[in-house]
Amino acid sequence: MTQTLDLAVIPGDGIGPEVTAEALKVLRKALDGEDVEVKETHYSLGAQHWLTTGETLPDDVLDDLRGRDAILFGAVGAAPGDTRIPSGLIERELLLKLRFTLDHCVNLRPSRLYAGVGSPLAAPGEIDFIVVREGTEGPYVGNGGALRTGTPHEIATEVSVNTAYGVERVVRDAFRRASQRLRKKVTLVHKHNVLVHAGHLWKRTVEAVAAEFPEVEHDYLHVDAATIFLVTDPGRFDVIVTDNLFGDILTDLAGAVTGGIGLAASGNINLDRAAPSMFEPVHGSAPDIAGQQKADPTAAILSAALLLDHVGQGDAVFAAAAARIEAAVKADVEFRIVGEQRTTAHIGDAIAARL
Amino acid sequence: MTQTLDLAVIPGDGIGPEVTAEALKVLRKALDGEDVEVKETHYSLGAQHWLTTGETLPDDVLDDLRGRDAILFGAVGAAPGDTRIPSGLIERELLLKLRFTLDHCVNLRPSRLYAGVGSPLAAPGEIDFIVVREGTEGPYVGNGGALRTGTPHEIATEVSVNTAYGVERVVRDAFRRASQRLRKKVTLVHKHNVLVHAGHLWKRTVEAVAAEFPEVEHDYLHVDAATIFLVTDPGRFDVIVTDNLFGDILTDLAGAVTGGIGLAASGNINLDRAAPSMFEPVHGSAPDIAGQQKADPTAAILSAALLLDHVGQGDAVFAAAAARIEAAVKADVEFRIVGEQRTTAHIGDAIAARL
Ligand SMILES: CC(C)[C@H](C(=O)O)[C@@H](O)C(=O)O
Ligand SMILES: CC(C)[C@H](C(=O)O)[C@@H](O)C(=O)O
């Protein structure tokens, strides 16, 4: 019986369309010969779309997205100097709105230093960890305000909101993932000596969930100390679980130490599978190199592998296709020649050819 | 006419007393032969003191501190496993209370990669920047709360409070410092695309203050991007201005890329000079190596130089003494022998001898 994989594709702005095209190319090739029909519905959304239409994410589009199996997302965002677009609007009203509305509570970000990839660290060692970043709470809830704006008496607040419900599900997911890994270790990152209330909720939750996973070790690091370890001993990490803001910071830094965010993939996961999960490279839209075939599509391609792994729910066909993509990427990056300039499509082709 | 430098000394816990002793040794030596009388009043405060007395920072001690010219602070904090002390209590009720009560609005943290010091980065380049971290607002205000604690319905919040008054004074200080430096460049670090209200206050303030300093350039980075640059191109930074939490994270990372927080000094500055400023190494109390003369006192010694520079207010005697300490540290670290084990006192003696 033929299965259908009903994909929503949001290429977005800047280099988004170029890297997404390669991700789709590789995804299709990885499923070649399998009894899976891949259906793509493309959505025009992002800064460019807003400039033309004034729309960020209309309700009917959101409803339509809800019916798909998964979303492949490129990148969105205006050029830094473009003053026609209110700053941060697209990020909040499109990207964050998707994450929040579709309840993408786990923002999953693997970090691996591939053989052959240069790290800015002199002695990086082996790096292979995942960050389970909370995706729907914390300082990202948009719960701030301002009073007397623009006067010398202005006061501006930002409220980080953390719930037992929201924290527990991501902590349990982190332990579950750790239990399936070799080293079986969870590190909670927070700043509980200062952010007492949120911090204690996270700490207590980790202690409680840890009891359900006796085979998984856990420890704790303040976020400042965690950034130190990311450059002095990144090999110490296996699974990091942390809040939305700390996760944002740590995963960009992790991307940098593993050779650049051109390789960093991510999944925004709806754990209940009540809505489609969304897969996107960690990098942004890089307007400066857009349309020039200069972007590295590897992060987008690895995001497609995360997508297959997630939608397959352990189905052998999908799991094998995801594993093949990862192996092809591994082989490709291992033999990349320093200084060699390959186009975006050329890299996509090379990875597809290795499948 | 003899001047008196009336110092409060808070050695604290762990390695605090050892490194502070060396800082005082070097400070005294640097003023040797000058017409300055150095008076020291030592205060017993910290985790150990709390265990003995139940006191964190009594009002009469705080009043007494207010009368001093400056505070030299070692490090405080219980051993991680010590469950007798409520976690974070000493940090909040002593360290943060001092910073907040004495209105230490600028937390000044220089980052310099000295010749001869190993960086974890393969190609660190020249690193010489300062971070002007806001010290009395932001997510550090202790303005959170929790509801239904310990139940599945718990909600915990943390409120970041930012005021025009608080932001403007540190931004102006950052521009003032930048205007006296060679490269004259300020980088604001925030996350204004997500933390809109606080972020816009910071951005608007930087634009307004920048107009007063036409000779100073400025740019902006999201905090996640800033961590990337700290490992891929730290040389791009001259003066970073940022909030309390981002500043905490960035300065630990900066300490790591410049060879370890054993070298990172800081000043908690009261800009009005209405209360004493406080100078402390960025590192913690490191209970695991306490009392063994294994700690590097360099960060404490450099903090003493920042102290002299600040209390002297440009007075040539103090400025020269501060410069001599910095030069002595520079010379000492340049000729450190890899793998050589010097005691804490030995390093202090060596630096003092170079003055
Ligand atoms: C664009 C921005 C809102 C986003 C975030 O902060 O989550 C990005 O930095 C990321 O990490 O995906
Ligand atoms: C101990 C802690 C409260 C403190 C902070 O977060 O400011 C420390 O990390 C620092 O950077 O001085």
Any idea which residue has 């959304």 for tokens? Answer: A45
CB contact B308 to A (< 8 Å): no
* Cβ contact, residue pair B164, A145, below 8 Å: no
From the CA of B228, which ligand is nearest? 1
* Cβ contact, residue pair A162, B156, below 8 Å: yes
User: Predicted confidence band at B159 (pLDDT cuts at 50, 70, 90)?
Assistant: very high
User: Predicted confidence band at A79 (pLDDT cuts at 50, 70, 90)?
Assistant: confident
Q: Compute, in angstroms, the gap from residue B282 CA to the centroid of ligand 2.
A: 8
- pLDDT, tens digit, for every residue of A90-143? 999 999 999 999 999 999 999 999 999 999 999 999 999 999 999 999 999 999
Q: What is the mean pLDDT of chain B?
A: 96
B108 CA: distance to closest CA in chain A (Å)? 16
Q: Which atom of ligand 1 is nearest to the CA of B222?
A: 9
- pLDDT, tens digit, for every residue of A134-168? 999 999 999 999 999 999 999 999 999 999 999 99
B170 CA: distance to closest CA in chain A (Å)? 14
Is pLDDT at B1 greater than 80 in this prediction?
no
Catalytic (active site) residue A315? no
User: How wide is the angle at C-alpha A100 spanned by C-alphas A95 and A103, nearest 5°?
Assistant: 125
* Cβ contact, residue pair B197, A158, below 8 Å: yes
Of chain A, the end-to-end C-alpha distance in Å amounts to 24
Q: Measuring from atom 3 of ligand 1, which residue has the nearest CA?
A: A91
CB contact B141 to A (< 8 Å): no
User: Predicted confidence band at B79 (pLDDT cuts at 50, 70, 90)?
Assistant: confident
Burial status of residue A162 (CB atoms within 10 A of its CB: 0-12, 13-18, 19 or more): buried
User: Predicted confidence band at B335 (pLDDT cuts at 50, 70, 90)?
Assistant: confident
Length of chain B: 355
Percent of chain B with pLDDT over 90: 93
Q: Once rounded to an integer, what is the mean pLDDT over residues B236-249?
A: 98
CB contact A231 to B (< 8 Å): yes
- Residues tagged in the binding site annotation of B for Mg(2+): 224, 248, 252
Q: Once rounded to an integer, what is the mean pLDDT over residues B155-163?
A: 98
Q: How far is it, in rounded angstroms, from Cα B238 to Cα B247?
A: 15
Cβ of residue A194 lying under 6 Å from some atom of ligand 2: yes
Q: Once rounded to an integer, what is the mean pLDDT over residues B279-302?
A: 96
Q: How far is it, in rounded angstroms, from Cα B90 to Cα B94?
A: 5
Torsion of CA A120, A123, A124, A126, to 10 degrees: 150
Q: Once rounded to an integer, what is the mean pLDDT over residues A242-249?
A: 98
Is pLDDT at A338 greater than 80 in this prediction?
no
Q: What is the DSSP letter of B272?
A: T
Is pLDDT at A226 greater than 80 in this prediction?
yes
Q: What is the phi/psi pair of residue A347, to 5°?
A: -65, -45
User: Predicted confidence band at A2 (pLDDT cuts at 50, 70, 90)?
Assistant: confident
Q: Once rounded to an integer, what is the mean pLDDT over residues B256-277?
A: 96
Contacts of A123 in chain B (CB under 8 A): 120
Is pLDDT at B80 greater than 80 in this prediction?
no
In 3D, which of B26, B74, B107 has the Cα closest to residue B280?
Answer: B74
Catalytic (active site) residue A220? no
Cβ of residue A228 lying under 6 Å from some atom of ligand 2: no
Is pLDDT at A251 greater than 90 in this prediction?
yes
* Cβ contact, residue pair B198, A261, below 8 Å: no
Which residue of A lies nearest to B223 if distances are taken between CA atoms? A249
User: Predicted confidence band at A298 (pLDDT cuts at 50, 70, 90)?
Assistant: very high
Q: What is the mean pLDDT of chain A?
A: 96
Cβ burial B204-214 (10 Å sphere, 16+ → b, else e): bbbeebbeebe
Q: Once rounded to an integer, what is the mean pLDDT over residues B339-354?
A: 94
- What was the pLDDT predicted at A60? 97
- Residues tagged in the binding site annotation of A: 99, 109, 133, 224, 248, 252, 284-296
Is pLDDT at A339 greater than 80 in this prediction?
no
Catalytic (active site) residue B191? yes
CB contact B146 to A (< 8 Å): yes
Q: Compute, in angstroms, the gap from residue A248 CA to the centroid of ligand 1.
A: 6
- What was the pLDDT predicted at A231? 98
Q: What is the phi/psi pair of residue B267, to 5°?
A: -125, 135
User: Predicted confidence band at B111 (pLDDT cuts at 50, 70, 90)?
Assistant: very high
Q: Once rounded to an integer, what is the mean pLDDT over residues A345-355?
A: 97
Catalytic (active site) residue A248? yes
Q: Once rounded to an integer, what is the mean pLDDT over residues A184-204?
A: 98
User: Predicted confidence band at B49 (pLDDT cuts at 50, 70, 90)?
Assistant: very high
How many beta-carbon contacts under 8 Å exist across A and B? 209
- pLDDT, tens digit, for every residue of A24-33? 999 999 999 9
Contacts of A234 in chain B (CB under 8 A): none
- What was the pLDDT predicted at A220? 97
Q: Give residue ranges with CB within 6 A of ligand 1.
A: A 91, 95-96, 248, 282; B 193-194, 224
Are A116 and A340 spatial neighbours (Cβ–Cβ below 8 Å)? no
